[in-house]
């Protein structure tokens, strides 16, 4: 498997941001880390190995990036308003820097699907819903879609606008809704085992339904818990059966 590590000084976040690419061809699968993890997390936990047949066959080319959760929502001493500012800077990094990098290293017409597990599911869904003109779909695994699960009770306009469970019920802008509705890859997964949140997945799927947005809600049984063995099974399953 071809692996390339790269990086640059990001103007949006004002620090070096690494990125790793696996594969050579196919649609772009952009992976967002869980919680406080980094761009190599999916490799460390063998999810890249689980995706190897799809990467090596040219079905997808995987891009994995850093989060800044340690500098925002996971940074306990930081003021809530500053956490929200850092979140927005990271969003801009993805939209204005990572997406162009993907275009440059694939093609201008390559579809981009963003995916993540746990906190990465919320970020992935948020990135897609706010820029459906840039990102073509999302695979959200084991997520909750209410950002206040991570804010220690802090709430302001920027929390609202980064919390899909908050802003989607009120979204009426035709441009956004029509771009979101064009996607055939909005996949919401949850297990039913320990530390999973199937009701959060159902509730958010209901919000999309009420907006006339196509989605797939997939709830697996109690043997599927909030952990890497689940995600190593789920993501290859989606690539095998949905793409």
Residues 149-197: tens digit of each pLDDT: 999 999 999 999 999 999 999 999 999 999 999 999 999 999 999 999 9
Q: What is the Cα–Cα distance from 2 to 71, expressed in whole angstroms?
A: 31
CB atoms within 10 A of CB 140: 30
Pairing relation of β-strands 3-10 and 27-32?
A: unpaired
**Chain segment 80-92, per-residue pLDDT in tens:** 999 999 999 999 9
Contact 45, 232 (CB under 8 A): yes
Q: How confident is the model at residue 133 (pLDDT cuts 50, 70, 90)?
A: very high
Tell which residue, 42, 100, 96, 101, has the closest CA to residue 66.
42
Mean pLDDT across 115-134: 98
Q: What pLDDT score does 128 carry?
A: 98
Q: Where are the alpha helices (DSSP H) in 21-156?
A: 41-44, 47-56, 80-93, 99-105, 119-130
In the chain, what percentage of residues exceed pLDDT 70?
A: 100
Q: What pLDDT score does 36 carry?
A: 86
Taking the complete model, does pTM exceed 0.85, yes or no? Answer: yes
Domains of the chain and any CATH numbers:
3-242 (3.40.50.1820)
């Amino acid at each position: 498997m071809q692996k390339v590590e790269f990086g640059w000084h990001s103007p949006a976040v004002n620090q070096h941001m690494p990125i790793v690419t696996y594969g050579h061809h196919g649609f772009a699968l952009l992976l967002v880390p869980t919680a406080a993890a980094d761009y190599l997390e999916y490799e460390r936990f063998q999810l890249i190995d689980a995706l190897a047949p799809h990467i090596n066959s040219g079905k997808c080319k995987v891009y994995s990036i850093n989060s800044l959760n340690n500098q925002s929502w996971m940074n306990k001493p930081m003021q809530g308003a500053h956490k929200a500012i850092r979140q927005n800077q990271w969003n801009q990094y993805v939209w204005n820097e990572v997406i162009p990098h993907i275009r440059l290293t694939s093609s201008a017409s390559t579809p981009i699907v963003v995916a993540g597990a746990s906190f990465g599911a919320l970020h992935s869904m948020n990135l897609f819903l706010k820029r459906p003109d840039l990102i073509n779909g999302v695979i959200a695994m084991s997520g909750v879609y209410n950002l206040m699960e991570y804010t220690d009770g802090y709430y302001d306009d920027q929390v609202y606008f980064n919390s899909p469970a908050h802003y989607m019920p009120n979204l009426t802008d035709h441009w956004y809704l029509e771009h979101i509705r064009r996607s055939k890859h909005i996949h919401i997964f949850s297990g039913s085992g320990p530390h999973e949140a199937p009701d959060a997945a159902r509730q958010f799927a209901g919000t999309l339904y009420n907006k006339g947005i196509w989605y797939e809600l997939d709830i697996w049984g109690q043997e599927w818990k909030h952990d890497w063995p689940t995600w190593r099974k789920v993501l290859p399953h989606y690539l095998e059966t949905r793409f």
